[in-house]
Structures are given as C-alpha cells and as structure tokens.
Amino acid sequence: MVNYVQDLPPPGGYSAPKQFSAHLPRRGLSSVTMLGISAVVMAFGFYGVHVQRTRARITAAEDRNAKYCITPFLLAEDRLATHSKQTLVRNYTDSLIANDANKPAGKTPYFDSEELAKSFSS
C-alpha cells in the first residue's frame, strides 16, 4: 500500500502577497488625440473626394456641351455617307436591271404596287 503525502502550506503560512499588477509608464498618444487625428485625416479625405467629384461633374458638363455642339455636323456627315452608299447600291442595281430585257432601267427588280395589284386581280 502506498502512503500519500498531502501538499500543505508551509508552517506559519505563506509570506506577504506579491504585486503582480503591471505598472507601465504612460507612453504614446491618448485616445482622444488619436480620435482627433483620425477625424482630421478623414475630413481631408472627404474634402479631396468632394473636389474630385466637382471637377468630374464640370468636365462631364463640358464634354456634353461639346457633343451637343458637334452633333449636327456628325449627323450631316453620316447622312452624306449614307447617301453615297445608297447611290452606289442604286447604280449597281440599275446596271443589273439594264441587263434584264424584261425590266426597264430605273425600276426595282421587286414587285411594285401596280404589278402586285395586277397579279392579284387576275
């Protein structure tokens, strides 16, 4: 059989309790100072965003006005290009129709309203 020995405090008790709390010196900035610095940095950032958006809005308005001013010229140029393409197509189809003995030159190769009415009346 094993004899167990109980762990007991020393006779007369333990000595005075030791100080375990940390007494650190005060270092760095206080929380109020850090909050103030953060607020100033954020305010400067928001101001920068405001200035950037204002400049972007002004630039967009200038671009929009320039587009409004140049639109008639662009439309005229587009109409001229469309007209020239249509003229080329019309000349090509006229040359094809000129080779066909059944159709006179200048008429479309498709049914016009008169021919369509004749085909339904008979």
- pTM of the predicted protein model: 0.44
Whether 30 has a pLDDT exceeding 80, the answer reads: yes
Domain ranges of the chain: 31-121
Task: Report residue 105's pLDDT band, with 50, 70 and 90 as the boundaries.
Answer: low
Per-residue CA distances from 54 to 46, 57, 58, 64, 108 (Å): 12, 5, 6, 15, 58
Which of 47-51, 84-88, 117-121 has the highest mean predicted lDDT (pLDDT)?
A: 47-51
3-class state of residue 109 by DSSP: coil
In this structure, of 9-13, 23-27, 53-57, 87-91, the range with the lowest mean pLDDT score is: 23-27
Quote the CA–CA distance of 89 and 100 in Å, as a whole number. Answer: 17
What's the pLDDT at 15?
79
Q: Is the dihedral of CA 96, 98, 100, 102 positive or negative?
A: positive
